[in-house]
Structure 1
Amino acid sequence: MLDMAWTVSTGSDKNRSDKNSRSCDHPRVSDDLRLRRLTAMRGCDRLLSGNRPKTMRERLADIAAGGDLDAMPDFYDGGPVTELEQRVAGLLGTEAAVFFPSGTMAQQVALRFGAERTGLSTVALHPLSHLEMYERHAYSQLSGLRAVTPTREPRNPTAAEIDALPEPVGSVLLELPMREAGFVLPTWDELVDATAAARKLGARVHFDGARLWESTTHLGRTLPEITALADSVYVSFYKSLDGISGAALAGTEEMAAFARAWRHRHGGQIFQTFPAALSALSGLDRELPRLPEYVRHARTIADALAALPGARVFPHPPHTHQFKLWLPYSADALSDAVLALAEREKIGFAAYWQDADVPGYAVTEITVAGPALEWTADDVAAAGWLLAQELES
């Protein structure tokens, strides 16, 4: 059995520094290689993981689908931005939602709000959280907050671990799902117990819900039922909804007023953001209703991938439409083979491989989106055979 403990070791200071120096989504590569990969993916007849990369013209079509282009845009606020905020608040069942240009900015404001309301500058968060791995420790650098670690296990903390925190905290942050651990979610009962334990300590609960949209299937609850457990929640518009960019911070009206003031202070009060807002509205119409189907089909894809020689999948079955795949080759060998397969056979298998802490293995993230719905288990097996032939040639 593959040792999954490697996921915790990626939280070391060295690896955090390495990850903080690159993008949130993919390892840094040369511009030429990145363009070659994107071109190959666009040219594939079949794509197992992710969506086909879009040109700027295609992105503009998404904007056009998101609303009436003859209407007036936003001017620092209003227009499609206000429409988006109201729609998100309705979907999540919160009093209000505030548009942010990035999730990193939204989360800093949420944690600052918690610190000011509780008088405590400590935040309980996981060392694998997005704030530690990808945000250059903005919570400490910009707001003077300090992290307390409830657990190093590759999952969200349990109620018992929150109860056992060595000092008071102003906020408890839970990432739903936790990407670095394998897009893992707690059970509904575990989540209820963990949030209750946080409140027992007098702490606010903040959900890093960048991918909350697709978590309803595993948790067995609606979005409003899930967000009702938190004081604030951040959601992304591009990670699952295929929007251009942007995020929302949702919660009470009081928090929203605070968020708008601090969004301005962080430089996020942009004159016009209607392209991102319209793209997000389009994503809510187009992708959000399909996410449960993606999650269901991810189980079929995960089973088929796990059957490939030497392959390991985690979690198995997946909790969302994303999971991790390990294969017994180096990252360089897999990257080269996948690219060759895409260019020659027009089959997009899975890109962005990294060498794992498990000797002899490399790991990637699989995202089952619209293109993957065309794949059967037999299709996965056939593509795996072709990849193996490429690796052995």
Structure 2
Amino acid sequence: MRHRLSVMRACDRILSGVRPATMRERLTDLSGGADLDELPDYYGDGPVTVLEQRVANLLGTEAAVWFPTGTMAQQVALRYGATESDAVALHPLGHQLVHERDAYASLTGLRAVTSTTAPRNPTAADLAELDERVGTVVFELPLRDAGFTLPTWDELTEACEEAVNIGARVHFDGARIWESTPYLGRSLVEIAEQADSVYVSFYKTLGGFSGAALAGTADLARYARAWRHRHGGNIFQQWPAVLTALAGLDRELPRIPDYVRHARVVADALAALPGVRVQPEPPHTHQFRLFIPYPAGVLNAAVTELAEKESVWFCGVWQDTPVPGVAMTEMTIAAAALEWTAADVIDAGERLLRACRLLHRP
């Protein structure tokens, strides 16, 4: 991984992702956007409270609580909703089941009920068919492992209404909710109004060091602070991560609509290449999946070769799929990609495919 990041950092042009910064660059960036003569936080005051209020204002919630990790924030949210039932409606492709090592069960003692097996968030019909009561229904916006897909606004609101009808709370896994607004066609406040709790991430998309927030009612916030402490998340000082989160809200959040629009330009260009497929088409956010009919090892080698020879970073990391000879990567269209025209994308894609053909000779 470190070699890949070093190669990417040395490139003049980057299509997918953000140029890796050194620790010195991150510290310089931090000092440029904050008053470092102010006192730091001590167990969650100072700049932490500033960030919490900023998030609550953005989402239109009564309160928000800083967490060092999103996994911790989500365990607290699910525990809060377990008063009526120890079951939680989760998607098999959702973050809790795929990326959190079953923390909801191991740490919180909850049971998972499958909300739907379709590669999308649950619909109202899916929830109406659940055969047992659940305390919380989780929606991941967007559903990353289904290709960063989102429901329509009508589908989302109808599903949230049905969750209430079956006596459940609604929790949004909103690690990437910032980039969901263009497709849903609603503001962050309007989206957050549909849920009882919303988790947001500060390092995904916004470029912070780390950290997350859990937003909702004042009662949820009181509960969250107590359980954050019990989980070991009430850390003495976290101001570096907090300040980078505030900087991300200032600098990156306003640019996200541009990233989403340009992702569609990039995806259209990529889909014009022979054998190449994007998912979804068009992308719902500034991230989408790209499939190319070569093994992952060949594509990783070709991307590195293109970067080292031409100082152009295309995309990575590639993974083999269940379809033999076809690999997949996740594309992230950010600031560096805005200078790429459709013709630039096609040209770089053709060069990548030529490199793959040479590397994949029998």
Q: Do the two structures share a fold, i.e. TM-score over 0.5?
A: yes
Q: Number of residues paired by the alignment?
A: 358
Please show how residues 1-393 of structure 1 align to structure 2 within 5 Å. 34-116=1-83, 119-393=84-358
* Aligned residue identity for 1:303: D
CA-atom RMSD in angstroms? 0.7
User: What whole-Å deviation, never above 9, does each CA across 1:81-107 have from its counterpart, x for those lacking one?
Assistant: 110000000001000000000000000
Q: Deviations over 1:53-109 (max 9, x none)?
A: 111012112322442100000000111111000000000100000000000000000
Q: In 2, distance between residues paired with 1:197 and 1:49?
A: 38
Give the counterpart letter for 1:70 in structure 2: D
Unpaired segments ≥5 residues, structure 1: 1-33
Counterpart of 1:109, as a letter, is V
Task: Give the aligned residue type for 2:8.
Answer: M
For residues 203 and 346 of structure 2, the distance between their equivalents in structure 1, rounded to whole angstroms, comes to 30
- Return the alpha-carbon distance in structure 1 between the equivalents of residues 91 and 205 of structure 2: 22
SS in 1 for 2:126: helix
Give the counterpart letter for 2:212 in structure 1.
A
Matched residues in 1 for 2:329 and 2:159: separation?
30
Amino acid at match of 2:79: R
* Maintained 8 Å contact 1:65/1:278: no
Give the whole-Å Cα distance in 1 for the aligned partners of 2:340 and 2:122. Answer: 35
Unmatched segments (≥5 aa) in structure 2: none
Aligned partners of 2:142, 2:296: CA distance in 1, in Å? 25
Which amino acid in 2 is paired with 1:101? P
Q: How far apart are residue 36 of structure 1 and its match?
A: 1.6
TM-score w.r.t. length of structure 2: 0.98
CA distance in 2, matches of 1:41, 1:85: 34
The one-character-per-residue Cα deviations of 1:2-38 (angstroms, maximum 9, x if unpaired) are xxxxxxxxxxxxxxxxxxxxxxxxxxxxxxxx22211
Shift of 1:385: 1.5
**1:173-224, CA deviations, whole angstroms, 9 ceiling, x for partnerless residues?**
0000000000000000000000000000110000000000010000000000
Distance 2:221 2:96 in 1: 21
- Which AA in structure 2 matches 1:51? V
Alpha-carbon distance in structure 1 between the residues aligned to 2:122 and 2:218: 28
For 1:310 and 1:293, how far apart are their aligned partners in 2?
Answer: 28
1:386 Cα deviation from its structure 2 partner: 1.1
Identity score, percent = 65
Distance (Å, rounded) in 2 between the aligned partners of 1:165 and 1:221:
28
CA contact (8 A) 1:66 1:280 kept: no
Q: Which letter does structure 1 place at the counterpart of 2:34?
A: G
Contact 1:65–1:282 (CA under 8 A) maintained in structure 2: no
2:203 maps to a residue whose letter is: Y
Q: Distance in 1 between matches of 2:225 and 2:170?
A: 20
What secondary structure is seen at the aligned counterpart in 2 of 1:77?
coil
- Kept in 2, the 8 Å contact 1:243–1:280? The answer is yes
Kept in 2, the 8 Å contact 1:313–1:323? The answer is: yes
Q: Which runs of 4+ in 1 moved over 6 A?
A: none
Distance 2:218 2:57 in 1: 13
